Amino acid sequence: MAAFHGPKMYGAVTVGERGQVVIPSELRESFGVKAGDKLIVFAKPGEAIGLIPADQFNEFLSHMSKMMASIKKEKTNNK
């Protein structure tokens, strides 16, 4: 998984009648997303929707677990 360097705007999408959206081509090319690829959809209710390639989901979870452990450790050390 590529290092996170902060958000980037790739444009706007419109939700079609069947709930479909088209992912902008620059974003698909940047992340190597091709027709037929599976994406995991997640959301923070009322705030954000995200997509992660399914084959990178375990790596994402591992990365997030490490980040959470680091935050928890830092919080404990600051008490």
Share of the chain above pLDDT 70, in %: 92
Write the DSSP symbol of residue 11: -
CB neighbour list of residue 60: distance below 8 Å, 6 or more residues apart:
1, 52
Q: What is the pLDDT of residues 16-54, one digit of tens each?
A: 999 999 999 999 998 899 999 999 998 988 998 989 888
- Which residue did the predictor score with more confidence, 53 or 5? 53
Tokens of 40: 């995991």
pTM of the model: 0.62
